[in-house]
Structure formats: structure tokens, C-alpha cells
Amino acid sequence: MSENLRPSPTAQIVSPFMQEPELMLECVDLCKVYSEGPADVQVLDHLNLRVYAGERVAIVGASGSGKTTLLNLLGGLDLPTSGTVMIAGMNLANLNETQRGQMRNRNLGFVYQFHHLLGEFTALENVCMPLLIAGMDVVLASRKGEAMLTRVGLAHRLEHKPSELSGGERQRVAIARALVTEPRCVLLDEPTGNLDRHTAHEIHQLMAELNTQLDTSFIVVTHDEEFARSLDRVLQLRNGRLAPVETEGAHGVFASDEPSHED
């Protein structure tokens, strides 16, 4: 097994009598090629990745190296040119668009650099949206949404709309929305990129607490070196493939270099 396919220390077997950690997400020989005029641009080149239940993985790399493209493929928002993406044992290539949407609703949460909250709805209504889409009763959805907002420290902001919230509060709402369905895995694309350092640190602490409490896997694209090093594994995306980054003495991998393609 190649280096970047090993489970992190937090996912290791701690007793010979325990079962092997559950494989939450796997991609095998993942390729993505874009046609730009007469030339083809290969963004991902036979990329492999395994993420286990409860594991926190950082993906770093230069701007334009394909990190967002990778997240979109892992979340079933886009399809690879070739290769396989498996989420909780399901091959995304075998699902139609409706089935992929249902899979995302049950198993995945998404948090972006821009919160993408719906401005006409309150914090509670935004958080309840995935539950209502899944067909949950409105009263039960409201209870679950309120409980999740309370968990992220926003019990006093339930009826506030995004324009009435600070940047950090909006991102907390986005995280609550991602977690309210109790997904197996959350994909985060620069979740604190637009926040000041103090607020970003608070969000990082919140994610660590929720990871411990809920045993949810986190896959985070980030340029934040300190945050990346606090996670279980750091992988660098370069030349279309992932390689492990040692947490000691690897400062150069966080610096920008010439992009190979826009994310």
C-alpha cells in the first residue's frame, strides 16, 4: 500500500480484538481531463486516496493545482474522466444524478470559503434546509436545526438572517448546515479563508470538537499551515497526485507556485 493510502494514527487499530477502521471514502486511479481548445489539460492523474471514519485530512497545494476539482469529484458534484470514487461503499459512477443527490444528502456535508447561505432565510431555516429536502417533518427538522446551532454556539441567533450575522457566525451556520444531517464525511473548501485570524481559530477549534463528538470525517482544502498541521494527515496535491507531507520541516509545500490549472 502506498504511503498516502495509510490510515492516520487516529484511525489505527488500538486492539487486536477490534475491527479494522471503517473506510469512509476511497478513490482509485482518479483522472480528470479538461479540453481547452486544441489541447487537453490533465488536472488529476491516477490519484488515489483513502479516508477512514473519524479521520481529519488536510489537502494543500498551489493555487490552481486542482484541489477544488478534487473536492467536487469526491462529493459527486462532477464526474471523473476515469477512475473510481466510492462513498460509504457506493460507487458514484453507478448512480444517476438523482441518486447522487440522495447520497450527498445522507452521507456528505459541504462547507465553502463563501458561506452560500440563503439571504432571505433565517439561520435556523438555512440549517433545516437539508433535512426538509430529505423529507423530514418540519417540527422535527426545526428541533434538530436548533440543537445543531446550539452546538456551534448560536442558540441566540436562530432567527437572525445572514446579513445580521458576523462573518464567523455565518460560517458557523454553514458548518451547522453541513452537520445537521449527521453526515459520514464533510468536505471543506478553504472554510476560514475569508475570516480574521482569531475567528478562524475559533472555527478550527469548533471543527475539532465536532469531529470528536460526532466521529465525522473531515477533508479540508486549506492554505492555512497551522490548521493543516493540526489535522491527522496532510497531503499535497501536485502534478495531479497526492503525496504525504511530513508535519516536521515541510514549510515549502504551503507556498504558492506556478499553477497547473485553475481549481
Strand residue runs (E) in the chain: 23-36, 39-52, 56-60, 82-87, 90-91, 108-111, 185-189, 217-221, 233-238, 241-244
Contact 199, 167 (CB under 8 A): yes
254 within a domain of the structure (yes/no): no
Alpha carbon distance, N-terminus to C-terminus of the chain: 28
C-alpha–C-alpha distance, residues 60 and 237, integer Å: 6
Domain count, the chain: 1
The three-state secondary structure class of 26 is: strand
Q: pTM for this one?
A: 0.79
- DSSP secondary structure of 224-261: -HHHHHTSSEEEEEETTEEEE--SSS-GGGGS----SS
161 within a domain of the structure (yes/no): yes
Helix then strand then coil, % of the chain, to nearest 5: 40, 25, 40
169 within a domain of the structure (yes/no): yes
**What pLDDT score does 194 carry?**
72
252 within a domain of the structure (yes/no): no
249 within a domain of the structure (yes/no): no
pLDDT in tens, the chain (263 residues): 333 433 444 444 344 445 667 888 999 999 999 887 778 888 999 999 999 988 999 999 888 888 989 999 998 888 899 999 998 888 888 888 888 888 888 888 888 777 788 989 999 999 999 999 889 999 999 999 999 899 888 999 999 999 999 888 888 898 889 888 888 888 988 877 777 787 778 778 877 887 888 788 899 998 888 888 889 999 999 999 999 987 654 455 554 443 334 45
Q: Which domain holds residue 154?
A: 3-12+21-242
85 within a domain of the structure (yes/no): yes
247 within a domain of the structure (yes/no): no
259 within a domain of the structure (yes/no): no
**What pLDDT score does 23 carry?**
86
Work out the number of other CB atoms within 10 angstroms of the CB of residue 55.
27
At 118, which CATH number? 3.40.50.300
**What pLDDT score does 14 carry?**
41
